[in-house]
Structure 1
Amino acid sequence: MALAERPVPGRVYFFLVLTTFLWGGSFLFSKIGLREIPPLLFVFSRFTLATMIMLVLFARRLPALDRTILRRGAIVGAALGLTNITFVFGVRGTSISRAGVLNNLFVLFIPLIGKLIWKERVGRINLAGLALAGAGIWLLATSGGAGFNRGDLISTLCALFIAVHIITVSRVLADDDVYLVSLVQFATVALMSGVALLSCPAVPAAVSGAALFSVVYCAIFPTVVCFTLQNSFQRYVTPTRAGLVYTLDPVWSLLAGFLVLGERLLALEWLGCAMIFLAVLIPLLARYLMETRLMRRYCPHRLP
C-alpha cells in the first residue's frame, strides 16, 4: 500500500480495539456453547464453518494455493489447533474472568521460549513480569475461592500455545497470501479436532439455539473477522503497540463474566488477576517507552 493510502492512526487503533472486543466475546460465547456442546465438537464445528466461509469469500485466490502455502499453513495451523483445543477445555473448567487473564500470559511466554530455544535475552523487566505473574497465580491458588483448578492450568497452557503460534507465524510465514494461509490454518484446526473427536468416546450433545449461535459467532467474528482485521491493520503499528492494545482482551472477558454470567471473584482473586495483568502490561509499557524514545530520536516523522 502506498504511503498516501496509509490509514490514519485513529482508524488503525479503532479496528485493533474492535478485534480485542470480538476476541473477548469468544470467551463468553464459548462458555455458553460448551454448556451443551463437547469441547472437541465445538472446535470442530467452529473451524469447519470458518473454513467454509473462507472458501466462499476467497474462492478466486484458490488457484494460487501451492505446496508452500499448504506446508506453511499446516505448520502454523497445528499451533493454532493446540491453542484452540486447550482454550475450550480451559474455558469450560474455569471462569472466563480467570481464563481471559491467564491467556494473556502469552506476552511473557514469548521471550521465555526465545531464551530456551534460540538463547535470546529475556531482560530484567520480563523476568520481573514472570515473577509477578507467578505471585498472582499463587494468590489464585490460595485465595480460598476456586483455587488454581484444572481449568486455570489448561488456560495457562493455552497461553503457552498462543505464544508458540505467534512465534511460528513470525518464523515460518514469509510473503504468503494471508487469506490462503488463514484458510489452510482453519482447515488444519478442523482436521485436528475432527481426528481427536473420532478418537474419543462419543458424547451426547443437545444443541439449543443459544449453543448454535455461539458456534456461529465464534466461527465468524473471533475467527474470520478478527484474522482479517489483524492482518489488515496490525502491520501499521509496532508489535509492542499492538500488544498493548491486545491487553484489552481480559478486560472484555472480565466484564462479560461479571455482567452476563454473574461471575464473582473474591478480593484476593481480583488481586491475583490484577497482578497477572500488570505482569503482562509492565514489560509492554517498558518496550513502548523505549520504542518511542528511539523513534523520536531517529524517525520523528513516523510518530502518530
Structure 2
Amino acid sequence: MHTTTQDDPRSARATFWLIVTTVFWGGSFIFNKIGFREIPPLDFFFYRFALATLLMAVLCLPRLKKLDRGTLKTGVLVGLPLAATNLSFVLGVSGTSVSRAGFLNNLFVLLIPLLCFVFWRERLDRWSAGGLFLALAGLWLLAKGGVDGFNQGDLLSTLCALFIALQIIAVSRLVGEEDVYLLSLIQFATVAAVGGVLNVALPSPPFTVTWVSVGALVYCAVFPTVVCFTLQNAYQRYTTPTKAGLIYTMDPVWSMLGGTLLLGERLTAEEWTGCALIFAAVVLPLGVKRLRERYSGIGCEAEGAAAD
C-alpha cells in the first residue's frame, strides 16, 4: 500500500519547492521589465540564455560524457518552442504591464487541452471548455479597460501562452529516457543560438548598462531558468500534474504583486476584473479535477507511487 502525499514528507517538500519556483517565475516578469530599461529585449533574451547555458554546462560537467545524438536531437526539438516562448515573452512584457502579461501567459493551462482536442481529438471536458469562455470574457475586459486597449504587448503575451502550451506538449510527447539535465542544457543552448541569430540579423543600437540591469539579467538567467528547471526536474515527480498546475497558477499573482509594489503599476477596475476572470478560468477546471482526484483517491495513489 502506497503512502499518501499527506503522510509523505517528500510531497510536502515538493509543494514547498514548486511554490518557490512560482515566486522565481513571477519575479522574472519584474526583472525583465527592469532590465529592459537599459538592455533591449532581444539582447536581454540572448544574454539570459547564453549565461544560463554556461551555468548549466558547468552543472552538467560530470554528465557530458553521456550526451548522445538522441538527447541532442530531442533537446533541439523541444528547445525551439522554448525559444519561441521566451522570445514572445520578452517582447510581450516589454509592451505591456507585468500584471497583464502574467495573467495572459497563464492561459497556457487552458490551451493545452484545447490543442490536444484539435490535433489528437482528446476529450475536452466541460470545465475546460467553460474556462475558455470565461477567459475570453476576461480578455475582453482587459482590452476594454486598458489605456491602449488590447495592445501588441498583450497579443504577444497571449501568443506566449500558446508557445508555452506547445512546449509542454512537445516535452510530454518527445522526451523519453533522456537525462533531464543534459536535455535542459541542450534546450538552453538552442534558445541561446536562436537569440544569437536574431541579434546578428536585427542588431540593436549601442547601449550602456549599470549594475541594476546586470543584476536583473543574472537573476533571470539563474533563478527562473537554471534553478527553476532543476527544481521542477527534482520535485514535480512527487505530485500530480493537476496539483502542480494549481501551484503554477500562482505565477501571475506574484508578478501582479511585484508590478504593483515594486514598479508602481496600476490597473483599472475593468483590468482587475479581467485578470480575475482569467485567473478563475484557469483555476476552476484544475480545482474541480483536483477535487475529483482527492475524492476518488487517484491523486493520492499517483503521488504515493511517485514518492515510492
In the alignment, what sits opposite 1:32? 34
Q: Deviations over 1:12-34 (max 9, x none)?
A: 11101001001111000000001
Match of residue 253, structure 1, among 240, 252, 255: 255
Q: 1:51 to 1:278 in 2, by over 3 A?
A: same
Distance in 2 (CA, whole Å) between partners of 1:296 and 1:287 is: 11
SS at match of 2:30: helix
Distance in 2 (CA, whole Å) between partners of 1:168 and 1:285 is: 25
In the alignment, what sits opposite 2:92? 90
Match of residue 235, structure 2, among 225, 233, 237: 233
Q: 1:248 to 1:298 in 2, by over 3 A?
A: closer
In the alignment, what sits opposite 2:134? 132
How far apart are residue 205 of structure 1 and its match?
Answer: 2.0
Distance in 1 (CA, whole Å) between partners of 2:300 and 2:127 is: 24
- 1:116-265 to 2 correspondences below 5 Å: 116-143=118-145, 145-265=147-267
> Which residue identity does 1:60 align to in structure 2?
P
How far apart are residue 144 of structure 1 and its match?
Answer: 5.2
My pick for the range that moved more, 86-95 or 143-152, is 143-152
In the alignment, what sits opposite 1:45? 47
Cα pair 1:40 1:194 within 8 Å, conserved: no
Cα pair 1:145 1:266 within 8 Å, conserved: no
How far apart are residue 296 of structure 1 and its match?
Answer: 6.3
List gaps (5 residues or longer) in structure 2: none
> How many pairs are equivalent?
301
% same residue: 56
In the alignment, what sits opposite 1:79? 81
**2:22 pairs with 1:20:** yes
Cα pair 2:40 2:204 within 8 Å, conserved: no
Distance in 2 (CA, whole Å) between partners of 1:292 and 1:54 is: 37
Q: 1:141 to 1:182 in 2, by over 3 A?
A: same
> Which residue identity does 2:38 align to in structure 1?
E
Distance in 2 (CA, whole Å) between partners of 1:127 and 1:46 is: 36
Cα pair 2:82 2:191 within 8 Å, conserved: yes
My pick for the range that moved more, 60-69 or 140-149, is 140-149
Distance in 2 (CA, whole Å) between partners of 1:45 and 1:105 is: 27
- 1:104-123 to 2 correspondences below 5 Å: 104-123=106-125
TM-score by length of 1: 0.95
SS at match of 2:297: helix
Cα pair 1:81 1:192 within 8 Å, conserved: yes
In the alignment, what sits opposite 1:60? 62
List gaps (5 residues or longer) in structure 1: none
TM-score by length of 2: 0.94
Distance in 2 (CA, whole Å) between partners of 1:201 and 1:51 is: 22
SS at match of 1:293: helix
Cα pair 2:104 2:278 within 8 Å, conserved: yes
Q: 1:301 to 1:72 in 2, by over 3 A?
A: closer
Distance in 2 (CA, whole Å) between partners of 1:298 and 1:21 is: 26
My pick for the range that moved more, 200-209 or 174-183, is 200-209
Q: 1:105 to 1:67 in 2, by over 3 A?
A: same
> Which residue identity does 2:198 align to in structure 1?
A
Cα pair 1:145 1:269 within 8 Å, conserved: no
SS at match of 1:8: helix
> Which residue identity does 1:149 align to in structure 2?
N
